[in-house]
Amino acid sequence: MRSATIFATWCSCLALALAATTGTVTPFIPPAVPLAVRSPYLSAWLNQGKGAALNDVWPSFWSGTILGWAGFAKVDGVAYGWLGTPGLPAGVNSTKATQKSLQITSTQSIFVMTAGPVDLTITFLSPVEPADFVNQSLPLSYLAVSAASNDGQDHHVQIYSDISAEWISGDNSLEAQWSTTTGEVITHQVQLAVQHAYTEVSDRMQDGFAYYSTLNPDGKASWQSGQDIAVRSQFVNNGVLANTQDPHFRAVSDDWPVFALAHDLGAVNAASAPVVFSVGHQRDPAVQYIVANNQLQARRLAFWSRYPTPTAAILAFLNDYNDALVRATAFDARVAQDASKVSEDYASIVALSIRQTFGALEITLPGDLNTSDVLVFHKEISSDDNVNTADAIFPAWPLFCYINPTLGKQLLLPLLEYQATGQYPNDWALHDVGTQYPNATGHNDGNDTPMPVEESGNMLIMVLSYTQRTNDTSLVDNYVGTVCIAAVLLLAHQRDCGQYDLLDKWAQYLVRNALVPGNQFDTENWEGALANQTNLAIKGIIGIQAMSEIAAIKGNTDKSSTYSSIVSQYVQQWEKFATSTDGTHLTLNKPSGTTVTQTLTEYHWIAAWQMFAAAVVTDSAVRDLLVSSVRQYAASGNTSQPLGDWYDTIAGTLSKNNRAEGAVGGHLALLALQSNSSIAPSLPSAPEGNGAPPSPGGSATTATTSASVSPTGDRPNSAVPQAMHGLSLGVLLFLISRASNAAI
């Protein structure tokens, strides 16, 4: 406790020392501030470390590479830089605006900066739209700038911003091309001259388009593309752009082409209406996904079902800003209210976690835009880049339970549907549906990362959790069928017994292998494979109990009782196997071995599991200590990258360099347990064609329907019996945290 107090005091002193740079920061200075975070490829951050103003450093991609994004304001003829660190040629001068404050909410990062006699309010809004999957799929984010006099006098204000071609590739030697369209909306479009679909360089996609746009209702906005210092000088010297396009396509780093927009606000006294820009990165198709007969299906972002062109989507997005801000503010307030019931420290961590989790997702439809066939894809950012890794979805699961469980269902469907085609040869649940995002091309050779117990347990737990949370039985209806129960009763090791269904097959694998796991990886696979892992065994046992609950939901009481009886026996044996010889603690993998807690936490800690534990402890002081330690790590200033889930408990730095991962959705574990309701109601049951496993001879495409892509609706008629809620999310979190992090 003494070390925690000293650390907290040091953080407070650090915050005071940094105030001159960052101004007042609410809730705290994070490792990185999310600016435009909507997808794995639209991910712009302001790296902080010990603290940095918006105009102290360049914005960067989550991996740390620079994203050129600049902003100037002219006030009564004097230029002030407010975004990035743009250079100007000799004789062209500007002054840095002074940052007064920064406020971070679940969807917004709001800066207030002083530009002489005017204060600028600069809002970066990345909406979270749990009630509208089309809006959520838009790969666009807002930047809004308003001005207000701070001396009571009128002042002439002009606003400028640009992006560079660095937004389109991880290789700045590649040639960029561009164009600009004008009219009701002005849009700069930038792309690589030579594109490669489904291909990354340094985690950046090598196809698609970057867009920078603004509304132009009165025809007075100006624009320009060209060399960075030339375009910026044009605005600094004249307060307006030349409305000209650079005709010379070239490499991203060759005279650094930029794409600029400017507005003249005229005389400003009271706060002006905001100037709104949108920035985006869009590609079409977005993901290729394996279906039956080893066919690949090109998946498109869901927004195409509503908007026929990128221009139409951008125009609608910009016109929606005021309403989007209202929705975002209401969302932020709801989350803050719920999280503050735990503590202010907890609310601050949640505010930093939501955009990051959604920034790892893409919501897709098939090529024909059948809106009943929604699949969500997840990139395992900064780790293996795998697609829909089951043990990466699992730690983020509380976020989906709290915000919209349907998102969780649609993350599971790519895994379930692929395995239901019979192309994956193993008897256990696969690790991921693709080695390299966005290629969800399966593992027909069975050579995915071998985590049989881990992933089988994860999948059964998440399927049950979704069903209990929503009363939607579509997953258990579609992936549970006839099974040879004799194989379970005899604990047989035979591979075939009639026609296995998917979930039962995994449960039977766990019956044979969970109690004493072989030499396997678990989710913390950085440490290598290890036999007889205590925490892996309990994960598998929980998975078997999940199958018991699933069987009961299906009305198969005999099967449910069989699995439940096995679990009762296994739990008793597990406690004997897992407890140290002196009876004081759980061991890692043998009675005389290292403790689970010591192994996982002596040098590094996993924040998601820490929050899982905080969600279920009965002592509020212990809960608050667990929460505050995550907050202290996040606020320490020892890291200048988007929040990482693994951290070094000694140095307070990232472990394994795992920045920007979606696993931080696990920080919402306490919110997920507050009630059985979610922010957006889940789909009652999947529309025709969504949630059902494809037939072995199925086509790579499906029929078009005009149904809306919406996660809302009535509850299904086939409700989950209340008696079947015994394996609650709280019990799951407790058992998992007990085996992973809780001190015994």
318 within some domain: no
Would you call the peptide bond into 398 cis, given omega within 30 degrees of 0 as the criterion?
no
Q: Which two tokens stand for residue 545?
A: 């109990």
Least confident of 5-9, 26-30, 320-324: 5-9
The model's pLDDT over 486-495, given as tens digits with 9 standing for 90+, comes to 333 343 333 3
Over the stretch 652-683, which tens digit does the pLDDT of each residue have? 665 556 777 888 999 999 999 987 778 775 32
> Is the model's pLDDT at 395 over the cut of 60?
yes
299/382 same-domain check: no
Domain contains 416: yes
**Is residue 640, in this structure, part of any structural domain at all?**
yes
CATH for 228: 2.70.98
Distance CA 421, CA 431 (A): 16
Q: Does the pLDDT value for residue 729 go beyond 90?
A: no
What is the C-alpha to C-alpha distance for residues 77 and 565, in angstroms, rounded to an integer?
79
- In the numeric block, the tokens 């940052």 are attached to 99
The sign of the CA dihedral 323, 327, 330, 336 is negative
In a shared domain, residues 599 and 734: yes
Rounded-to-10 torsion of CA 317, 318, 322, 326: 30
Q: Which of the pair, 298 or 8, is modelled with greater confidence?
A: 298
Domain count, the chain: 2
Q: Of 505, 484, 334, which is closest to residue 404 (Cα–Cα)?
A: 334
Average pLDDT over the chain, rounded to an integer: 85
Residue 591: which pLDDT band, with cuts at 50, 70 and 90? low
For residues 116 and 156, the answer to whether their CB atoms sit within 8 Å is no
pLDDT, greater one: 741 or 415: 415
- Rounded Cα distance between 737 and 741, Å, is 5
Residues 658 and 572 in one domain: yes
Using a pLDDT cut of 70, give the percent of the chain over it.
81
pLDDT band at 2 (very low <50, low <70, confident <90, very high): very low
Identify whether residues 174 and 279 lie together within a single domain.
Answer: yes
Which of the pair, 60 or 520, is modelled with greater confidence?
60
Domain boundary pick from 250, 272, 305: 305
Q: Is residue 559 part of a domain?
A: yes
Beta strands in 231-334 (DSSP E): 250-251, 257-268, 275-282, 287-290, 296-301
Residues 280 and 416 occupy one common structural domain: no
Same domain, 620 and 722: yes
- Is 3 or 538 the better-scoring residue by pLDDT? 538
My answer on whether 292 and 434 are in the same domain is no
Question: What's residue 698's pLDDT?
Answer: 35
Q: Is 60 exceeded by the pLDDT of residue 702? A: no
Asked whether residue 600 is assigned to any structural domain, the reply reads yes
Q: Write the burial class of residue 533 (CB in 10 Å: 0-12 exposed, 13-18 middle, 19+ buried).
A: buried
Q: How far is CA 728 from CA 71, 500, 672, 675, 734, in A?
A: 50, 27, 11, 12, 10
Three-state DSSP class for 394? helix
Tens-place pLDDT, residues 143-167: 999 999 999 999 999 999 999 999 9
Q: What is the pLDDT of residues 178-210, one digit of tens each?
A: 999 999 999 999 999 999 999 999 999 999 999
Domain with 653 in it: what CATH number? 1.50.10
Residue 602 is predicted with a pLDDT of: 52
Which tokens sit at 614?
């905080």
112 within a domain of the structure (yes/no):
yes
Identify whether 652 is part of a domain: yes
Residue 3 belongs to a domain: no
**Residue 731 in this model has a pLDDT that exceeds 60:** no
Q: Identify the domain boundary among 305, 336, 354.
A: 305
**H and E: helices and strands count for the chain:** 19, 28
- Which region among 108-112, 263-267, 524-528, 596-600 has the lowest average model confidence (pLDDT)? 596-600
Mean pLDDT confidence for 382-411:
95
Answer yes or no: do 292 and 425 share one domain: no
Of 283, 305, 327, which residue constitutes the final position of a domain?
Answer: 305
Q: What is the mean pLDDT of residues 410-419?
A: 98
3-state secondary structure of 420: helix
Per residue in 441-485, pLDDT (tens digit) is 999 999 999 999 999 999 999 999 999 999 999 999 999 874 444
The pLDDT of residue 407 is 96
Domain range spanning residue 590? Answer: 372-692+718-740
- 402, 279: one domain: no
d(CA 399, CA 665) in angstroms, rounded, equals: 5
Whether omega before 27 lies within 30 degrees of 0, making that bond cis, reads yes
Domain identity same for 186 and 60: yes
